[in-house]
Homo-oligomer: A and B are copies of this chain.
Amino acid sequence: MNTSRPKKAVVLLSGGLDSATALAVARDEGFDCHALSIDYGQRHAAELAAARRVAAHLGVSEHLVVPIDLTAIGGSALTDTAIDVPEAPTEGIPVTYVPARNTLFLSLALGWAEVLGAHDIFVGVNAVDYSGYPDCRPEYIEAFERLANLATREGVEGEGFRIRAPLIDLRKEEIIRLGTRLGVDYGLTVSCYQADAEGRACGRCDSCRLRAEGFRRAGVPDPTRYR
């Protein structure tokens, strides 16, 4: 008789397509999933409602929503309403980049993982069909994992931490095929940078364009609700 309990994982869950897929992967690997969402004053607050729906739909042991007001820091179209979300492709790192966002989110996930006794932290970052954010690249994830194992009691005295980015090398259509196979209902997710209060997408921002193109290429019907 196998009485071992499943290993715990912390999964960063934004409410978007990628993090929902990362959660489905963690569940498929047999992890007892603890979802973490951050209420950072993002203009697309409908994302958090989506995170709650996704957590309930895929099944997690716990869903923690931590508020951190990044509007005091600003510097991004997502946290400063004075900066418009671009509706056409731009050169370089776009204004929707939120300074140090993934570092902050992974730090919170790391702290919670250490308290829970989890060694695996899942994050839905992707470096192929993405907005060009520096904190979505493989070398960034590797550097964070290294840091995590220097920063913590568990890293110094225990088994340490693995930062799991199962989507990092996948194209958007591959992510959608993977999630569809694992039972993700993408109709529950919100990717749009300026979704309205009901979670309806603009269809024009960078995130909407990548998502729509992904469904088209995957040959999967796009359940996104547009306004």
Instruction: Select which of B72, B73, B151 is within 8 A of A140 by beta carbon.
Output: B151
Interface string of A42-79 (1 = CB under 8 A from B): 00000000000000000000001011111011110000
Which B residues are in CB contact (< 8 Å) with A102?
Answer: 151
Interface string of A181-222 (1 = CB under 8 A from B): 000000000000000000000000000000000000000000
- Give A80 Cβ to nearest chain B Cβ, in Å: 9
Let me know if A128 is at the binding interface, CB within 8 A.
Answer: no
Which B residues are in CB contact (< 8 Å) with A108?
Answer: 73, 100, 104
- A143-160 with Cβ < 8 A to chain B: 143-144, 146-148, 150-153, 155-157
Let me know if A6 is at the binding interface, CB within 8 A.
Answer: no
Cross-chain contact B115 with A110 (CB below 8 angstroms): no
Let me know if A103 is at the binding interface, CB within 8 A.
Answer: yes
Given contacts A140-B150, A147-B144, A150-B139, contact A114 B134 (CB under 8 A): no
Which B residues are in CB contact (< 8 Å) with A82?
Answer: none
Copies in the complex: 2
Given contacts A92-B157, A150-B139, contact A72 B64 (CB under 8 A): yes
- Give A126 Cβ to nearest chain B Cβ, in Å: 16
Interface size on A, residues (CB 8 A): 44
Let me know if A130 is at the binding interface, CB within 8 A.
Answer: no
Let me know if A120 is at the binding interface, CB within 8 A.
Answer: no
By Cβ-Cβ distance, the 7 closest A-B pairs, closest first, are A75-B115, A100-B111, A99-B114, A99-B111, A104-B107, A103-B107, A100-B110
